[in-house]
Amino acid sequence: MNDTIVKDDQLLKKIAAELTISFKQVKSVISLLDEGNTVPFIARYRKEMTGALDEVQIRNILERWQYIQNLEHRKEEVIRIIAEQGKLTDELNSAITKAEKLQEVEDLYRPYKQKRRTKATIAKEKGLEPLAEWLLTFTKESVEEKAKQFLSEEKEVLTVDDAIAGAKDIIAERVSDDAESRKWIRKETFKSGAVVSVVKEAEKDEKNVYEMYYEYEEPVNKIVPHRTLALNRGEKEDILRVSIKMNADLILSYLSRKWIRVQHSPAAPVVLEAMEDSYKRLIQPSIEREIRSELTEKGEEQAIHIFSENLRNLLLQPPLKGKVVIGVDPAYRTGCKLAVVDETGKVLKIDVIYPHPPASKTKEAREKFINILRDYKVEMAAIGNGTASRETEQFVADILKEMDEEIFYLIVNEAGASVYSASEIAREEFPNLQVEERSAASIARRLQDPLAELVKIDPKSVGVGQYQHDVSQKRLSESLHFVVETAVNRVGVNVNTASPSLLQYVAGLNKTAANNIVKKREEEGKFTSRVQLKKVPRLGAKTYEQAIGFLRVLDGKQPLDRTGIHPENYDEVKKLLASLGFTTDDLGSEELKTALHGIELKSVADELAIGELTLKDIIDALVRPERDPRDDLPRPLLKKDVLKLEDLKAGMELQGTVRNVVDFGAFVDIGVKQDGLAHISKLSNRFVKHPLDIVSVGDVVTVWVDSVDMKKGRVALTMLAPSN
């Protein structure tokens, strides 16, 4: 038992060093996770134990711990298998135990692995292993004379050449199985090899998407992740042929120095031929697969990271609370679907207008739209960015200019709206609406509360990634789920209005518990306190502990229930308030803010027997009881007028909203049909390692038009102010 604890501590120290976090923090996180605590709960309510690590740091510790444990299990398994074969030496045992990566363990295990029948195993069956061993002693005797001793009709070794060829096959496999040789060759190929691509079937590349890769070469150690994924896709679509080119002479020179101990021995040329065969037939293809797999993994990690960051920023877009919104799902033939929703997102009106060809009932559409705006006192218009979006924008902008009331509009990224509209969730929400009508309602609600609406859609469908279809879908889903979960718990959830889709992302809750909360709410009316949630079926003590701090009861009996303060601290909070002459009814008041501002954190924390970090969070919640972290972010860019591509001129200054960030730049919505691209080189005067260091999805940025390609409908933008 003690040995296990010591070993675990060594592994935890290793993680601490890798992630530059203290051993105590790592140990606390693993201990908390082992007790069944969730990542959001640990990040928010166990700051004293973790030293205020955030969700990403906690997840990194968890992932690293899982990898190291898998590595240790694999080491144990490999040592056991080799020991059972009676081939485990102290040196080999030590090498496996010290291995830092799974790849090293597999390299060391390679010679002892059960192999399918290879050329070498066939040669061994023919009794040629002693000849191979003899060749590797590099004596001065004649190879041909020695080979004659191994001729056998019964074993089908009929000629001297047969015997030597079999021995060479055995040596080739031995060279290929040598862990040290493979490690050197892999490292050298990474250092000086090149990724090469040539065109295979150009006719399949109708839009010339892969033209730059028809004859392409780039060093392995320089290739950027998005190019790896582009090459992989081109290869998958049968347009490109991709390989890794390496100077074979460099490798053979190394192998020769390592394996040929006596250059003038008659055996040397034979062993050299075996090595050449080993490299070309066995090592090179295998190393190429490993390196390409590693490059792909890096490419996938980067693509998943970018998608995750973009999704996080999209989910945390500031909500436009308390507004009556008209959602417009644009279309030509089938008409623009309209949905008016009230301040809470409840649908008040569904209609359709036909302002565009082929119907072109513009006059009728205008009258209907104006009447709806007036009848329902609409304050904002949300227009989907799909087909006919810009024509619809022009139609809406022209009407808003004539209105006496001040009504703004916004173009809403409707990626995934059609997926949602046809989903079971949408059918349950709006059983009496058509698919397009549901879409219009969803577009309106996205403006009011992007997070609450976007959680209803598979994160992969929100359209803010690059190469998301080319990466491991399992890893992508896990990463995106983590992002959504983090965002939902950071904001908190109103338990009386949240949908099951939103509730299931709350720490500790699953789909069943989320549905049970909504069911109880529908059957018995609004929750008036957090304590009532203990009665929800399938919501046990541990689940309650994990979830309750993130669930808010806004107008209940207990004022603290509308804050992010965990009920486990309510007694301490009441003591704190009483010591200052206040009660829980004074939350958010100016007097309480002033009183709390003057307290001495350390002494009060000691007095209440809680940590300073926890006390600091409690004070923040008492000062701003219903604080939404999204409220601190810049507001979306509201519009009243519209631009056309033809209006754009080089040097023109515009404001735009960042819609997507990719490795090579950012796509910015400036109000014309196509989003403009601000290339990475045009984002800042200083060196930019990655666009995410400068911009995020949802940012409102000032840009200047760099160039306009009317033919391709492309706009190049710059964030560098032109010099006058």
DSSP secondary structure, 381-413, as one string: EEEESSTTHHHHHHHHHHHHHH-SS--EEEEE-
Alpha-carbon distance values, 148 to 151, 268, 329, 709 (Å): 6, 18, 85, 76
CB 116 within 8 A of CB 85: no
Q: Give the tens place of pLDDT for each residue, 652-702.
A: 999 889 999 999 999 998 888 788 999 999 999 999 999 999 999 989 899
CB 348 within 8 A of CB 376: yes
For residue 477, the tally of other CB atoms under 10 A from its CB is 14
Task: Please identify which residue in the block is written with the tokens 């000062």.
Answer: 623
Q: Hey, what domains does the chain have and what are their CATH numbers? A: 2-112 (1.10.10.650), 119-306 (1.10.3500.10), 325-448 (3.30.420.140), 492-557 (1.10.150.310), 562-631 (no CATH), 645-718 (2.40.50.140)
CB 545 within 8 A of CB 508: yes
- Would you list the DSSP string of 421-468? HTSHHHHHH-TTS-HHHHHHHHHHHHHH-HHHHHTTS-GGGS---SSG
Query: Which residues, including other chains, have CB under 8 Å from residue 418's CB and lie 6 or more apart?
Result: 435, 439
Q: How far, rounded to the nearest angstrom, does the alpha carbon of residue 88 sit from its chain's CA centroid?
A: 41
Rounded Cα distance, 296 and 14, in Å: 26
Helix segments in 85-215, DSSP class H: 90-98, 102-109, 119-125, 129-135, 143-148, 160-177, 179-192
Please give the helix or strand (H or E) that residue 551 lies within, else none: strand 551-552
Rounded Cα distance, 186 and 179, in Å: 10
Instruction: Look up the pTM and report it.
Output: 0.87
Identify the segments of the chain with pLDDT beneath 70: 1-7, 642, 724
Rounded Cα distance, 256 and 672, in Å: 64
Rounded Cα distance, 683 and 689, in Å: 11
For residue 659, the tally of other CB atoms under 10 A from its CB is 22
Rg (CA), the chain: 33
Task: Identify the pLDDT of residue 1.
Answer: 45
Rounded Cα distance, 478 and 462, in Å: 16
Pairing of strands 380-384, 325-329: parallel
Task: Identify the pLDDT of residue 712.
Answer: 81
Phi, psi of 296 (to 5 degrees): -65, -40
Rounded Cα distance, 588 and 335, in Å: 48
